[in-house]
Amino acid sequence: MKKRILSLLLIALVLVCMMACAGKEATSDTTDQALNWPNGTIQIDIPYGAGGDSDTNARIAAKYLEKELGTTVVCVNMPGANSTLGPIAVLDAEADGNTLYYYNSAQAANQATGIFKDAGFDMFDDFTAAGTCAYDASYALVCPASAGWKTLDDMVAAAKAAPGTITYSYSYGTNVHYLLLGMEKALGIDLDEIDIGSDNSAKIVSLLSGEVDLITGNLSTFEDYLEDGSMVCLGLFSKERNEYYPDYPALSEYGIEATCPKYYEFRFKKGTDERIVKKFNEALQAVCANSEYQAELEVYRASAVCLSPEEQETFDKTYVDEQYEALKDFE
């Protein structure tokens, strides 16, 4: 009997030792992974289509991140489903620092309206802030030249003369949707909505084909059309005129308080080692300090701004709270 008890005790001791060793090995593996990161290709998941401002800024940043991190950085477009496919793909990947969720801060509306919740995730609970790479405050309202409007006042006069006949492109529940609803309220007009989605190419086609009368987007996206005279910019959703486009009015000049400042941001899946997050943000800081990177962004009228993860988290949460407040007017 004593021998049997002794044998059981020895077996138990061996198991405890094995578990302890396994725990140390797992901790060692995690530590090695963080210390050796990056140790493979880094994928940036972009929840937008190709060619827009967000896609362009991501690809410029990726090129310089490759130099700073010494590894391949690839960008993968995942448009659709109200920009939820990119973050979902990141959550499906390992929290090893090799997959990043990239977005612009207009996605605060998706968090505020519950779009993200309906898709099964939360921007703050499921992701860790990693920093920003650029900033742009040139979100514009444009119309086709064929409409005959030269200013916002012209559009407002036409809208009041024929309520509900002027149409705009939107994507339901997004920041743009509530920007335009806020504009309608501020101007005292009634416009009709057509859900074209958030893809810039689709919006441009819908405008120039006559399907809609108004679209929105970063002004750099429309520069060629503004230069050839096929589009007219009626104003920017900002509190003051943009340094790159001083001739275009800030819509705040018309009493429109809704704005759309855009930081271009990165997040890791929650659980990613904080040392990896720190290394990535340090690389972003170096990229944003690079004069060549700054010059490339300036072509698209964006500025190199790298917020720390803490600053990014504060900005995003404040912006989401602002969106919650704005939504109360349309509940």
Ordered domains of the chain (ranges, CATH): 39-135+262-330 (3.40.190.150), 139-254 (3.40.190.10)
Task: Count CB neighbours of 59 within 10 A.
Answer: 16
Residue entry with tokens 């990726």: 62
Those residues of the chain that have pLDDT short of 50 are 6, 8-10, 14, 16-17, 24-28
Residue 35 confidence (pLDDT)? 79
Can you give the pLDDT at residue 93? Answer: 98
pLDDT of residue 26: 45
pLDDT at 189: 97
pLDDT attached to residue 30: 52
| Structural contact between residues 60 and 297, judged by C-beta atoms closer than 8 angstroms | yes
Q: What is the predicted pLDDT for the residue at 8? A: 45
- In 3D space, the residue among 103, 128, 126 whose CA is nearest the CA of residue 263 turns out to be 103
Contact status, residue 203 vs residue 225, Cβ threshold 8 Å:
no
**268: which 2 tokens?**
């890791």
The whole-number pLDDT of residue 4 equals: 54
What is the per-residue pLDDT across 175-184, written as a single tens digit (0 to 9) for each? 788 889 889 9
State how far the Cα of 236 lies from the Cα of 142, in Å rounded to an integer: 9
Residue 38: asked if its preceding bond is cis (omega within 30°), the reply is yes
SS3 (DSSP) at 191: coil
Distance CA 245, CA 242 (A): 5
- On whether the pTM is more than 0.95, the answer is no
Beta-ladder partners of 232: 143
Query: What is the per-residue pLDDT for 67?
Result: 97
